[in-house]
Structure 1
Amino acid sequence: MPRSKEIQEQMRTKVIEIYQSGKGYKAISKALGLQRTTVRAIIHKWQKHGTVVNLPRSGRPTKITPRVQRQLFREATKDPRTTSKELQASLASIKVSVHDSTIRKRLGKNGLHGRFPRRKPLLSKKNIMARLNFAKKHLNDCQDFWENTLWTDETKVELLEGACPHYIWRKSNTAFQKKNIIPTVKYGGGSVMVWGCFAASGPGRLAVIDGTMNSTVYQKILKENVRPSVRQLKLKQSWVLQQDNDPKHTSKSTSEWLKKNISMIAKTFGKIPCGPTRQKLNFLESACPVTSGVKVTQHFRKRTSYQQ
């Protein structure tokens, strides 16, 4: 049976107006040229919902029932690395056929969204407790203490972007425009190790590490960069040097060098302990202004040295 033509809203409103004037179904049908069943349906809808406009339609029933939805949520929560394709296969095993995009949308409505996992050091329970104790120990330190702490560390900087995936905004059919691609080179673009520091007032000096770093190289970097950074950042004489427990930082020769040289710069020299077993606190990885100055992107071949 062919679908009947929808009555315009203006006509439905006129039906109600005539009905409110006291006319019956037959009189309204004859006056407006409508079938009596159509007039009755319009009036019944108005009496029930108080309107003659089209109500939201339910559409096709969803294939994902509340029970299936709970199963999806349970599997995705149990193993966050489960892909939507794997969830799709899991539903297929119970004879529920849905597109993987439908699964992603349904999980999104329940608060589960696809995200790149954060990278964090693999820590033992002992080191987790050491970090927690470190945080508790300094929880009530005054603001002046933190503002006069010089944070130092080393980090690796990729010479070509692409080591860390990220999104871009582009229009359709512009995927291969120069601004929308990440250039790659054979055998990788290389990387460079840098030492850097920063305080609450901003980033300090940045030093490129040539070759293998040992205690002697580390002490040379401190000698050339700590004093200028302290002056640049305008730290008070009671400033504190922070470093992690890398063996090069805690070796006997480095400890003696720090006591002898740093105490000449600062009125009071101190070091914030970071916990046992070479606990790594790489603040430079999140201190973008510190390392952004040495990132090389599309002009790598024009550079003649890492320092450039």
Structure 2
Amino acid sequence: MGKSKEISQDLRKNIVDLHKSGSSLGAISKCLKVPHSSVQTIARKYKHHGTRQPSYRSGRRRVLSPRDERTLLRKVQINPRATVKDFVKMLEETGTKVSISTVKQVLYRHNLKGCSARKKPLLQNHNKKSRLRFATAHGDEDRTFWRNVLWSDETKIELFGHNDHCYVWWKKGDACKPKNIIPTVKHRGWQHHVVGVLCCRRDWCTSQTRWHLEEGKLCGYIEATSQDISQEVKAWVIQMDNDPKHTFKVVAKWLKDNKVLAITKP
């Protein structure tokens, strides 16, 4: 026999109210389309115990004890890159035989989910301090200042390469912790470089980014910037990092000739 659906609280209340008004159990069952046995059980429980709540059913005991669950969560925090199979094997070594689905249910119940590890630039201590100084120095700027800032960046498109995926277990808000990311560094390879410039001024640049290919070592940075500078605006600030292509003498000369102020992000 299949599992029956739990009777709602509103329906239980209607059964009790009809029974208190003098309706027979058969009439209630026919009117509300509820099995006679269910109507009889609800009415009898209300008569003897004064409650309409269903009886507590313990159900099947969980395979993992609270102590085993704490051990599993501690292992996940220590090594978030371990797979579910690794956790199953770890529990079997302690004498607890458990399935993969059970381990997943425990992790989901504690708000842990498996996701691809995010790739973030490898930051040394001096890089972190420099970025903190940059954020502190420009944290009080108003909207007028940032509306005149051109945000520029470049990226590379690898023609040949291998993109590795790594799954980690994290809670909400823990995505960028050191244990949950894959540090990346820039390296030379068979690839194309592109550079783009964007600005938040919606009157002339509506969330559009202009990309320009670089020819070998010759940077298309100046070309991309000069096409996006508006002649109507006298003072512009351009944001860029310490990439070598941004520190070329020809770039510095162009910025000076066009009276463009550059803020360097560490």
**TM-score after normalising by structure 2:** 0.65
**Equivalence map 1:237-248=2 (5 Å):** 237-248=234-245
Which residue number corresponds to residue 150 of structure 2?
150
Output the CA distance in 2 between the equivalents of 1:76 and 1:93: 16
Output the CA distance in 1 between the equivalents of 2:221 and 2:56: 70
Return closer, same or farther for 1:133/1:223 CA change in 2, 3 Å cut-off.
Answer: closer
Tell me if the contact between 1:243 and 1:271 (Cα under 8 Å) persists in the aligned partners.
yes
Per the TM alignment, residue 222 of structure 1 is displaced from its structure 2 partner at its CA by 3.4
Any unmatched runs of 5+ in structure 1?
22-38, 166-189, 276-308
Return closer, same or farther for 1:205/1:235 CA change in 2, 3 Å cut-off.
Answer: farther
Return closer, same or farther for 1:77/1:141 CA change in 2, 3 Å cut-off.
Answer: same
Displaced runs of 4 or more, over 6 A: 39-42
Which residue number corresponds to residue 171 of structure 2?
none
RMSD: 3.5
Residue 271, structure 1, aligned to residue 262, structure 2: yes
Tell me if the contact between 2:148 and 2:236 (Cα under 8 Å) persists in the aligned partners.
yes
Which residue number corresponds to residue 122 of structure 1?
122
SS in 2 for 1:115: strand
Tell me if the contact between 1:153 and 1:195 (Cα under 8 Å) persists in the aligned partners.
yes
Which residue number corresponds to residue 78 of structure 1?
78
Residue 205, structure 1, aligned to residue 210, structure 2: yes
Which residue number corresponds to residue 227 of structure 2?
228
Per the TM alignment, residue 66 of structure 1 is displaced from its structure 2 partner at its CA by 0.9
**Equivalence map 1:1-308=2 (5 Å):** 43=44, 47-48=48-49, 50-51=51-52, 55=55, 57-157=57-157, 163=163, 191-201=191-201, 202-211=207-216, 213=217, 217-218=218-219, 221-231=220-230, 236-250=233-247, 254-255=248-249, 257-266=250-259, 269-275=260-266
The superposition leaves residues 162-189 of structure 1 with CA deviations (integer Å, 9 ceiling, x where unpaired) of 9587xxxxxxxxxxxxxxxxxxxxxxxx
Per the TM alignment, residue 192 of structure 1 is displaced from its structure 2 partner at its CA by 2.8
Per the TM alignment, residue 43 of structure 1 is displaced from its structure 2 partner at its CA by 4.0
Letter in 2 for 1:229: D
Output the CA distance in 1 between the equivalents of 2:120 and 2:252: 32
Output the CA distance in 1 between the equivalents of 2:121 and 2:238: 23
Output the CA distance in 2 between the equivalents of 1:205 and 1:222: 11
Output the CA distance in 2 between the equivalents of 1:56 and 1:164: 49
Output the CA distance in 2 between the equivalents of 1:102 and 1:85: 11
**TM-score after normalising by structure 1:** 0.57
Output the CA distance in 2 between the equivalents of 1:66 and 1:194: 53
Any unmatched runs of 5+ in structure 2?
8-14, 24-39, 166-189, 202-206
Tell me if the contact between 1:148 and 1:235 (Cα under 8 Å) persists in the aligned partners.
no
In the comparison of the two structures, how many residue pairs are matched? 207
Tell me if the contact between 1:158 and 1:192 (Cα under 8 Å) persists in the aligned partners.
yes
Output the CA distance in 2 between the equivalents of 1:137 and 1:75: 41
Output the CA distance in 1 between the equivalents of 2:100 and 2:232: 55
